[in-house]
């Protein structure tokens, strides 16, 4: 049996509550004051929040041909409780309503006891492709016979990882079948390595490159690609939650009606890949913003999520919803989660380090469980709206604020213009410009 993590982290008496009633009504300055008070941020960290978390000079050391930085809004997901611990969740995202919706759903889940999560150990898979192999069965036998030596070669590449308890754990040989008369089959060797709190791409790719020549020699063939798989199905996070039905009440809909609507929406996604894609997009609405805020590789997480969703040959939802024996709504999510709290971009990105400080997570596995909870909360928020009054009502109210800003509104005028736009129902730049002109010159 493999170790699985489920306790979020060591209990921390100083951990701030994630309930901050009225936070959205505060000015930016007052939100900062609240954050500084709760987390003892210093002036440099406050300045980081205002400066986008990354100076161009630092960016110049992260990627190539840098000409500047590109900012996105960073907001706080509130009300999150995972395995009994509170988390303030930094979310970096451009889509209005994502943060509010996730926070609102997390508050409903809180009433049902919060999110429960567990996760696999941080195992990454790296693949070595072998081709021109004369005899697949003999090659497989030869490779498996040298497993200990091959894993030791992998470990020798990462002495630091070994010291902290990680390293190569397993080796498997898979035969990929060819189809069609001129196709050649091939072998692929999977090496599974525990990467601890790193994402592990560099670690496992180095292992694969080191061991590939010996694998090819044992197989009496040639090696091709040596690269990790983003289908990180040995590094899966599982999150569940329960919501008391009365929490789901929505304009003119009883909690029970909304719960039934959510179950029906889940079944729809389970039966139809077209719907499953959008259902999963709603989950990624919560997942990606935290992955980005914490400096992790969101393209890898996306690739992992969708390949995992399609692993049985049909694209399926990453989370499903049912009613439990009490009639409460119960959600369950499972998805790969290769995220890190050390290494890579994190070293060079002060904003990402600050996000991790705000979150207060100690390990990559703990971070993954929180991210899974935010994904499940986002899914719940979307399905609740869809099952009741529809998504546009809430969306358009928030969209109105962006339109007001695009029309040139600033300060308190943003909310005034947005409110009037939303009341009128026609949320266009032209209307916003006209309203703004009237409010400026009554
Ligand atoms: C929009 O960003 C996300 C939704 O389409 C998700 C869903 O349909 O479940 C609302």
**25-84 tens-digit pLDDT:** 999 999 999 998 899 889 899 999 998 999 999 999 999 999 999 999 999 999 999 999
User: CB 2: neighbour CB atoms within 10 A?
Assistant: 9
Q: Which of 228, 248, 264 is the last residue of a domain?
A: 228
Q: Name the pLDDT band for 346 (thresholds 50, 70, 90).
A: confident
CATH of residue 425: 1.10.8
Q: Please give the pLDDT value at position 177.
A: 81
Q: Please give the pLDDT value at position 10.
A: 42
Q: Which of 228, 247, 270 is the last residue of a domain?
A: 228
Q: What gap in Å lies between CA 351 and CA 349, rounded to an integer?
A: 5
Q: Which of 207, 228, 249 is the last residue of a domain?
A: 228
Mean pLDDT of 316-323: 98
Residue 5: inside a domain: no
Instruction: Tell me which of 268, 270, 282 to substitute to probe ligand 1's pocket, judged by most ligand atoms within 8 Å of the beta carbon.
Output: 282
Q: Which residues of 30-56 are buried (b: 16+ CB within 10 A; e: fewer)?
A: ebbebbeebbebeeebbebbeeebbee
Residue 382: inside a domain: yes
Residues in Cβ contact with 64 at an 8 Å cutoff, skipping those fewer than 6 apart: none
CATH of residue 42: 3.90.770.10
Q: Are residues 183 and 133 in the same domain?
A: yes
Indicate whether residue 286 lines ligand 1 (CB < 6 A). Answer: no
User: CB 311: neighbour CB atoms within 10 A?
Assistant: 13
Domain boundaries, position 271: 23-120+237-388
Q: What gap in Å lies between CA 204 and CA 388, rounded to an integer?
A: 47
Residue 203: inside a domain: yes
Residue 11: inside a domain: no
Residue 76: inside a domain: yes
> Which atom belonging to ligand 1 lies closest to the Cα atom of 285?
2
Q: Name the pLDDT band for 8 (thresholds 50, 70, 90).
A: very low
Q: Please give the pLDDT value at position 66.
A: 96
Indicate whether residue 279 lines ligand 1 (CB < 6 A). Answer: yes
Q: Please give the pLDDT value at position 397.
A: 75
Q: Are residues 109 and 132 in the same domain?
A: no
Q: Whose CA is nearest to atom 6 of ligand 1?
A: 282
Q: Are residues 60 and 29 in the same domain?
A: yes
Q: Are residues 310 and 223 in the same domain?
A: no
Using the mean position of ligand 1's atoms as its centre, give its distance from the Cα of residue 241 in Å.
Answer: 19
Marked catalytic residue, from 12, 61, 281, 393 = 281
CATH of residue 209: 3.30.70.420
Indicate whether residue 285 lines ligand 1 (CB < 6 A). Answer: yes
Closest C-alpha to 235, from 127, 121, 333, 340: 121
Q: Are residues 62 and 196 in the same domain?
A: no
Using the mean position of ligand 1's atoms as its centre, give its distance from the Cα of residue 287 in Å.
Answer: 13
Using the mean position of ligand 1's atoms as its centre, give its distance from the Cα of residue 20 in Å.
Answer: 26
Residue 3: inside a domain: no
Can 297 be counted among the known catalytic residues?
yes
Average pLDDT value over all residues in the chain = 93
Residue 43: inside a domain: yes
Q: Name the pLDDT band for 426 (thresholds 50, 70, 90).
A: confident
Q: What is the pLDDT of residues 264-293, one digit of tens each?
A: 999 999 999 999 999 999 999 999 999 999
Q: Please give the pLDDT value at position 286.
A: 98
Q: Are residues 114 and 127 in the same domain?
A: no
86 pLDDT above the threshold of 80: yes
Mean pLDDT of 199-217: 97
User: CB 132: neighbour CB atoms within 10 A?
Assistant: 13
Q: Whose CA is nearest to atom 3 of ligand 1?
A: 282
Q: What is the pLDDT of residues 113-159, one digit of tens each?
A: 999 999 999 999 999 999 999 999 999 999 999 999 999 999 999 99
Instruction: Give the CA count within 13 Å in the CB-facing half-sphere of 247.
Output: 19
87 pLDDT above the threshold of 70: yes
Q: Are residues 62 and 195 in the same domain?
A: no
Q: What is the pLDDT of residues 169-179, one digit of tens each?
A: 999 999 998 76
* Burial environment of residue 180 by CB neighbours within 10 A (0 to 12, 13 to 18, 19 or more): exposed
7 pLDDT above the threshold of 50: no
For residue 63, what is the DSSP state?
A: S
Q: What is the pLDDT of residues 358-407, one digit of tens each?
A: 999 999 999 999 999 999 999 999 999 999 988 777 777 778 888 999 99
Q: What gap in Å lies between CA 211 and CA 223, rounded to an integer?
A: 10
Q: Are residues 428 and 284 in the same domain?
A: no
Q: Are residues 165 and 74 in the same domain?
A: no
The percentage of the chain sitting over the pLDDT mark of 90, rounded to a whole number, equals 83
Q: Please give the pLDDT value at position 351.
A: 96
Mean pLDDT of 10-15: 61
Q: What is the pLDDT of residues 228-246, one digit of tens each?
A: 999 999 999 999 999 999 9
Q: Name the pLDDT band for 2 (thresholds 50, 70, 90).
A: low
* Backbone Cα Rg of the chain: 25
Indicate whether residue 438 lines ligand 1 (CB < 6 A). Answer: no
Q: Please give the pLDDT value at position 181.
A: 57
Q: Please give the pLDDT value at position 182.
A: 54
Number of domains in the chain: 3
Residue 10: inside a domain: no
Q: What gap in Å lies between CA 91 and CA 296, rounded to an integer?
A: 12
Q: Name the pLDDT band for 15 (thresholds 50, 70, 90).
A: confident
Q: What gap in Å lies between CA 91 and CA 74, rounded to an integer?
A: 6
Q: Are residues 141 and 190 in the same domain?
A: yes
Q: Are residues 253 and 355 in the same domain?
A: yes
Q: Are residues 261 and 377 in the same domain?
A: yes
């Amino acid at each position: 049996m493999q170790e699985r993590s489920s306790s979020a982290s060591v209990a921390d008496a100083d951990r701030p509550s994630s309930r901050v009633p009225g936070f959205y009504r505060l000015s930016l300055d007052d939100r900062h004051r609240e954050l500084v008070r709760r987390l003892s941020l210093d002036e440099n960290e406050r300045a980081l929040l205002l400066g986008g978390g990354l100076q161009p000079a630092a960016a110049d050391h992260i990627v190539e041909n840098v000409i500047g930085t590109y900012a996105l809004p960073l907001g706080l997901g509130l009300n999150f409780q995972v395995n009994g611990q509170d988390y303030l969740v930094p979310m970096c995202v451009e889509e209005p309503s994502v943060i509010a919706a996730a926070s609102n759903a997390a508050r409903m889940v809180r009433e049902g006891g919060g999110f429960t999560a567990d996760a696999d150990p941080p195992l990454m898979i790296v693949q070595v492709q072998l081709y021109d192999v004369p005899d697949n069965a003999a090659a497989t036998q030869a490779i498996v016979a040298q497993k200990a030596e091959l894993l030791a070669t992998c470990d020798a590449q990462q002495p630091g990882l070994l010291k902290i308890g990680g390293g190569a754990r397993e080796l498997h040989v898979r035969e990929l079948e060819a189809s069609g008369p001129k196709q050649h089959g091939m072998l692929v060797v999977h090496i599974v390595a525990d990467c601890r709190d790193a994402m592990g791409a560099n670690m496992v790719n180095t292992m694969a490159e080191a061991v590939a020549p010996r694998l090819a020699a044992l197989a009496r063939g040639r090696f091709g690609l040596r690269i990790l798989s983003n289908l990180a199905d040995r590094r899966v996070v599982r999150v569940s939650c329960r919501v008391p039905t009365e929490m789901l009440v929505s304009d003119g809909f009883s909690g029970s009606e909304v719960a039934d609507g959510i179950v029906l929406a889940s079944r729809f996604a389970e039966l139809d890949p077209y719907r499953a894609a959008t259902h999963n997009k709603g989950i990624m609405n919560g997942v990606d913003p935290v992955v980005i805020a914490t400096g992790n590789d969101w393209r890898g997480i996306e690739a992992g999520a969708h390949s995992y969703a399609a692993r049985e040959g049909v694209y399926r939802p990453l989370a499903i919803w049912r009613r439990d024996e009490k009639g409460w709504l119960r959600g369950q999510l499972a998805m790969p989660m290769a995220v890190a709290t050390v290494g890579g971009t994190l070293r060079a990105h002060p904003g990402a380090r600050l996000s991790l400080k705000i979150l207060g997570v100690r390990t990559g596995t703990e971070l993954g469980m929180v991210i899974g909870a935010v994904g499940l909360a986002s899914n719940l928020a979307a399905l609740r709206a869809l099952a009741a009054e529809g998504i546009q009502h809430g969306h358009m109210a928030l969209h109105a604020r962006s339109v007001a800003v695009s029309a040139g509104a600033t300060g308190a005028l943003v909310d005034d213009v947005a409110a009037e736009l939303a009341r009128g129902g026609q949320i266009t730049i032209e209307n916003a410009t006209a309203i703004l002109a009237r409010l400026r010159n009554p």
